[in-house]
Amino acid sequence: MSLIQFQQAFADLVANGDLCRAIKQQPELLDEKYTLTPLEKDRILFLLQQSRGIGTSCMLYQINRFTPLYDLMPYTCNILGERTREYTRQFWDYYPKSNFQFRDEVMIFSKFLLEQVADGTIAHIPIMESLVNLEMAGNCIRFGVTDKVPSSAVIYLESLGTAHRLLFSRFDVVQMLAAMDQLGLGVPVDYEAIAAVNCFYLVHFTDRRFVVQMLPDATATAIIEETMDQEALNTLLAAVS
């Protein structure tokens, strides 16, 4: 049992820099949180005092968890700006366990951000929910995710194939993408210039590029209910590719 506790303590410390600092200042916290032998406790305290000990492992842990977020959710990270680090640290605190699979990491981070939006924590970015859902749709296409998607706004249908998703967005996706491209050039986002629409889009994603088309309500309903003529659907899919 003690070995399991030691492994758990080490894993927790690698994943949490604040915990490392707290235990360095108050070693008795180890006794409160874990059941360790004196030797195991001494090992951990020794590693905490080494500049290349747990600190290095903690840095590598954070790099390995941040890389997929920055690489696969660039719009989300760009719009969070300087607060990206703040939200990723909160994310790691809420979800400290990771299998370091890029697909799982971006899906869980997307879920975390949507929870923050629902709680009103990211109310200063009105398009955040729509932007996270858009990049989630892209990553679902990238990784072939067809079920257990963290958002009901991203819809997989067999009739669309694996290269397309339906996306319900509260804001105009075309305008949103244009604003994000401008943000990448240093131009601040004018949220008032992005129209509120509350409608469905057909989304295609490849080579880090989105192709989207707003759908009339009747068309979206026909696709979802699978009543759309196959030839017309094939034409639409070809246009959004």
Domain match, 124 and 235 both:
yes
pLDDT of residue 2 exceeding 60: no
Q: How many domains does the chain have?
A: 2
CA quadruple 24, 26, 27, 28: dihedral, nearest 10: -160
Domain match, 126 and 217 both:
yes
Domain match, 87 and 167 both:
yes
Domain match, 89 and 143 both:
yes
Domain match, 37 and 67 both:
no
pLDDT of residue 105 exceeding 70: yes
Domain match, 18 and 81 both:
no
Non-local CB neighbours of 77 within 8 Å, separated by 6+ positions: 69, 70, 84
CA distance linking residue 66 with residue 202, whole number of Å: 29
Domain match, 20 and 84 both:
no
Domain match, 9 and 125 both:
no
The radius of gyration computed from the CA coordinates of the chain, to the nearest angstrom, equals 22
- Name the amino acid, one letter, at 190: D
Domain match, 45 and 76 both:
no
CA distance linking residue 31 with residue 5, whole number of Å: 11
| pLDDT at residue 3, as a whole number | 61
Domain match, 14 and 63 both:
no
Domain match, 33 and 112 both:
no
pLDDT of residue 1 exceeding 50: no
CA distance linking residue 54 with residue 45, whole number of Å: 10
Residue 55 three-state SS = helix
pLDDT range class, residue 46, cuts 50, 70, 90: confident
Report residue 197 as tokens.
């629409």
| Domain housing 82 | 57-239
Domain match, 30 and 112 both:
no
pLDDT by residue (tens digit) across 171-212?
Answer: 999 999 999 999 988 899 999 999 999 999 999 999 889 999
What spatial distance separates the first Cα and last Cα of the chain, rounded to whole Å?
55
pLDDT by residue (tens digit) across 125-179?
Answer: 999 999 999 999 999 999 999 999 999 999 999 999 999 999 999 999 999 999 9
